[in-house]
Amino acid sequence: MLRNSYSKSQLECGTDEAGRGCLAGPVVAAAVILPKRFKNKNLNDSKIVTGKNRDELRLIIEKKAVCYGVAHVDNHKIDEINILNASFLAMHHSIDLLSSTPEHILVDGNRFKTYKDIPHLCVVKGDGKYLNIAAASILAKTYRDEYMKKIDLEYPMYNWKKNKGYPTKEHRAAIAKYGTTKYHRQTFKLLPDQLKLEL
């Protein structure tokens, strides 16, 4: 059973990102402050929730949250500052968008850059332990998937509506065949070495 929050006395937000391991598109982060007594038996890590349930949960979170923020950092910025720093930046931007300033931040993962001297706690696999991080993971994932479906219309040959920019065999084969786009992360290993040698 996921816990509502880590800090019982403070206004706490959970934050998480989606798209860190992708070859194309932005990294998207969300920050969510939930009501103290919020409960939902379906809310969990976005990776183990079905697509249909994610979409339903997004509507519930947006309606019931005290406040939330969602921020994109594009592939050009990722190439400029690296994916780890881009993930921190996206999380910071998502917290910037909260209408209430949190007194404590719960972060999914094991690393974070301090935000405005607000105390934070990094929790490995936190999206499966705390509801506020799980809520952030749902928003980050659904907003990013929505964006990838939109840019799929521009470049349908990469099938981003299905693979969401992740390094699937199909995505890499399309890069080998058609080259890269303005959405690809040029600092990432877009093709495995053996595929490059065959070309």
Cα dist from 37 to 8, 40, 131, 139, 199, whole Å = 11, 10, 11, 20, 58
Position 1 scores a pLDDT of 82
Fold of 12-152: Nucleotidyltransferase; domain 5 (3.30.420)
Q: What is the pLDDT of residues 126-179, one digit of tens each?
A: 999 999 999 999 999 999 999 999 999 999 999 999 999 999 999 999 999 999
User: Which run of H or E residues covers position 165?
Assistant: none
Per-domain residue ranges for the chain? 12-152
How much is the pTM?
A: 0.94
Torsion of CA 128, 61, 6, 117, to 10 degrees: 110
Return the number of other C-beta atoms located less than 10 Å from residue 1's C-beta. Answer: 7
Q: Which amino acid is at 62?
A: E
pLDDT by 10s per residue, the chain, length 199: 899 889 888 899 999 999 999 999 999 999 999 999 999 999 999 999 999 999 999 999 999 999 999 999 999 999 999 999 999 999 999 999 999 999 999 999 999 999 999 999 999 999 999 999 999 999 999 999 999 999 999 999 999 999 999 999 999 999 999 999 999 999 999 997 655 544 4
